[in-house]
Amino acid sequence: MSNYHIKHLEEYFQVYRKSVRNPEAFWEEIAEEHFVWRKRWNKVLKWDFSKPEIKWFNGAQLNITENCLDRHLHIRGDKTAILFEPNDPKEEAQHITYRQLHQRVCKMANVLKDEGVKKGDRVCIYLPMIPELAVSVLACARIGAIHSVVFAGFSSTALATRINDCDASMVITSDGSFRGNKTIDLKGIVDEALNHCQGIKTVLVVKRTGGKVDMKKGRDHWLQPLLDKAYADYTAEIMEAEDPLFILYTSGSTGKPKGMMHTTAGYMVYTAYTFKNVFQYREDDVYWCTADIGWITGHSYIVYGPLANGATTVMFEGVPSYPDFGRFWEVVEKHKVTQFYTAPTAIRALAKENLDFVTKHDLSSLKVLGTVGEPINEEAWHWYNDHVGEKKCPIVDTWWQTETGGILISPIPFSTPTKPTYATLPLPGVQPALMDENGNEITGNQVDGRLCIKFPWPAIARTIWGDHKRYKDTYFSAFKNMYFTGDGALRDEVGYYRITGRVDDVIIVSGHNLGTAPIEDAINEHPAVAESAIVGFPHDIKGNALYGYIILKETGESRDRENLKKEINQVITEHIGPIAKLDKIQFVPGLPKTRSGKIMRRILRKIASKDTSNLGDTSTLLNPEVVQEIMDGAL
């Protein structure tokens, strides 16, 4: 029996039991059989959640790009590695073979090295979904530099915060990006950010839109001329198993974004293994994940997981609504996509449109459908199942996080019977636990609680860059010897998990993780604002949208309210990005606070979701009268 490719339910249970009985032997066998190593590990796993310290395959040496590129050259060198589908359907798709990708990555690695980037340096990548994004990521890994990809929808302030936090020395960007019928001036955003970053020595600029840009002498260079001169081979840097591979920022409920640090060997083994199983990947498949590489989904399941398996992975530059709402399905038909992985928010948006956009395309190539990023509601699940999968494609509702590096709970297609809104069963090696508020594990089925993981899996983030204490406090302090996910979950009568949502102050909007604190901080920068509180409320398409309760300063009281709302959203756009804009803004005389001064968000959430029949106990509030006033003015 191969641990590496599960094909039916009984096999899943066997493999799962084995993985839990002896996790080290389980992962060792996979690591041995399916990857190339420069040196073997001394110890498969060393861990202590109380520190926390987690080391997988310690002592091993490797380069992840040798596993994603070099080893494929002699068996599938001419196979398409990246299939690039541009924003404009009239622009031709590009089929980049493994051989070509290897050359492009090597050239880029030489450029990075020539520009002074060394092993361990941080390189910030702020690029649209064009091949150079994947090439840059892999080139960093090739030379041992740590990539920090920042989603190219983030504002200059958000970009600057992320550059400074990890002290990056280089930014790779483009003149601009195409998104539907819009063109965005990315280089202008970078220039603005760099007014606040001292550490950046070099900016490499990809030409994509041909828009006008300012090039700062000595700092900014067009990339192409450098690539043209670069040598097309580069001996991969030998990396230790636990050397950092990348940093990726995610929002917390408080404070600045957390730079989750992932390391090399465990991440590689886990993303490759889960990709193969969760998507039941086979050699001739054409796999498409519609995420952006600016998020963890893109890192693990557009770049590393698929390439480590020698897969063809589609990179899509555009948006689902351009040139019309049939674009996803047109691309599926055109490239005969076999696995399609997207977010519930996209499904809900497309389900609202005319069904002709779907039915006019031949989707018969599809075998497996996936969702990620937020709970999928039953209606969206059925629409996806009936109209896209034509009831013959299992839907994998994959639950995981930036911190987990890879999928932890998900059906395995053709093995695990699916159930709408359920992520179902833990993948091999994953040991979930539901905990009550007193810190006790809730055993048995038909129960709900806080979702924790009891045992390390190879792709768990190892720390928060520059702040190990925060890593410990956030994930390992709520429950003893457990990784706490921040999510609530229930376990049904057969042991299937359903993720019920965040139990902290993180709000998932259109699948994007947004912390309330940074948004409130941004709003409070507006001169007319005294204080603010943000909560989520249910939204048809986005899953959740943001509702802001705002107390104005006296100076703001006389201002035009509609203008103020626009200005507040403008401030949010500048500080974070348009994804964090508020759908509703209510100006309030006060916020419900406990005697210790904590805002009682539970009440605000209920008012925002128009569910005020039972507000619970408000007797501990310092100012209970404000609740009625807020309810009277609710939107």
Work out which of 237, 397, 504, 505 binds ligand PRX, going by CB under 6 A.
397
Angstrom distance (rounded) from CA 261 to CA 250: 11
CA 85-86-92 angle, 5° bins: 80
Can you tell me which residue has the tokens 């958000």?
A: 158
Which of 387, 512 has the CB closer to ligand PRX? 512
List, in order, residues 6 or more apart from 563 with CB less than 8 Å away: none
**By CB under 6 A, residue 449 contacts ligand PRX:** no
Pairing status of strand 94-97 against strand 80-85 = antiparallel
In the region spanning residues 62 to 101, those forming contacts with ligand PRX, defined by CB under 6 A, are: none
- Token look-up 């083994």 returns 269
Residue 242 in the binding site for ligand PRX (CB under 6 A): no
Establish if 508 lies at the interface with ligand PRX (CB under 6 A): yes
x/- track of binding to ligand PRX for residues 200-239 (CB under 6 A): ----------------------------------------
How many Cβ atoms sit within 10 Å of the Cβ of residue 354?
A: 11
**Given the complex with ligand PRX, which of 259 and 592 has the nearer CB atom?**
259
Cα dihedral sign, 575-580-585-590: negative
Extended strands (E) in 308-412: 312-316, 339-342, 368-372, 395-398
Q: Under the criterion CB under 6 A, does residue 423 sit at the interface with ligand PRX? A: yes
CB nearer ligand PRX, residue 311 or residue 499:
499
Least distance from C-beta 267 to ligand PRX, angstroms?
Answer: 14
513 is a contact residue toward ligand PRX (CB under 6 A): yes
CB nearer to ligand PRX: give 84 or 400: 400
CA dist 75 and 256 (Å) reads 45
**Cβ of residue 494: shortest distance to ligand PRX, in angstroms?**
18
Check binding of 298 to ligand PRX (CB under 6 A): no
* Contact residue for ligand PRX among 400, 422, 457, 549 (CB under 6 A): 400
User: Of the candidates 402, 424, 510, 544, which one interacts with ligand PRX according to CB under 6 A?
Assistant: 402
Binding residue for ligand PRX, selected from 97, 103, 274, 297, defined by CB under 6 A: 297
Q: Minimum CB separation from ligand PRX for residue 94, in Å?
A: 27
Helix axes 131-143, 98-114, angle to 10 degrees: 60
Residue nearest to ligand PRX according to CB distances in the complex: 402
Number of H helices, E strands in the chain: 22, 31
Q: Taking the CB of residue 449, how many other CB atoms lie within 10 A of it?
A: 19
- Whose tokens are 């520059």? That residue is 466
3-state class of 522 per DSSP? helix
To ligand PRX, the closest distance from the beta carbon of 8 in angstroms equals 23
432 strand-pairing partners? 453
What's the token pair of residue 542? 């986005």
Residues in 168-187 that interact with ligand PRX by CB under 6 A: none
N-terminal to C-terminal alpha carbon distance within the chain: 59
Pair of tokens at residue 380: 């969206």
Q: Considering only residues 486, 518, 556, 577, which one is a binding residue for ligand PRX as defined by CB under 6 A?
A: 486
| Cβ 242 vs Cβ 264: under 8 Å | yes
Q: Show the CA angle centred on residue 363, arms to residues 359 and 364, nearest 5°.
A: 125
Tokens of 404: 């987990």
Span from 193-201, 279-287, 326-334, 398-406 in contact with ligand PRX (CB under 6 A): 398-406
- Cα-to-chain-centroid distance, residue 162: 16
Q: Is 461 in the site for ligand PRX (CB under 6 A)?
A: no
Measured between alpha carbons, how far is 232 from 110 in angstroms, rounded to an integer? Answer: 8
CA distance 447 to 432: 13
Residue 250 found at the interface with ligand PRX (CB under 6 A): yes
The answer to whether 385 touches 395, Cβ cutoff 8 Å, is: yes
Stretch that binds ligand PRX, among 35-43, 71-79, 202-210, 396-404 (CB under 6 A): 396-404
Of 19 and 274, CB closest to ligand PRX: 274
Binding range to ligand PRX, per CB under 6 A, among 10-18, 280-288, 357-365, 399-407: 399-407
CA 184/CA 178 separation, integer angstroms:
6
Q: Which one of residues 102, 256, 502, 542 is an interface residue with ligand PRX (CB under 6 A)?
A: 502
Among 65, 148, 313, 401, binds ligand PRX (CB under 6 A): 401
Tell me how far the alpha carbon of residue 38 is from its chain's centroid: 30
Closest C-alpha among 430, 528, 435, 445 to residue 488: 435
Closest Cα partner for 137 from 314, 340, 260, 295? 295
296 binds ligand PRX (CB under 6 A): yes
Window 16-35: residues binding ligand PRX (CB under 6 A): none
Q: Which is nearer to ligand PRX, 132 or 374 (CB)?
A: 374
Interface size with ligand PRX, residues (CB under 6 A)? 21
Pattern 348-387, binding to ligand PRX, x per CB under 6 A? ------------------------xxxx------------
Contacting ligand PRX (CB under 6 A), which of 191, 242, 487, 505? 487
Q: Which of 435, 480, 432, 428 is nearest to 458 (CA)?
A: 428
The nearest distance, CB 302 to ligand PRX, in angstroms, is: 12
Stretch of 66-74, 433-441, 483-491, 611-619 contacting ligand PRX, by CB under 6 A: 483-491
Q: Can residue 292 be called a binding residue for ligand PRX (CB under 6 A)?
A: no
The yes or no reply on residue 499 touching ligand PRX (CB under 6 A) is yes
Q: Which residues bind ligand PRX (CB under 6 A)?
A: 250, 296-297, 372-375, 397-402, 423, 485-487, 499, 502, 508, 513
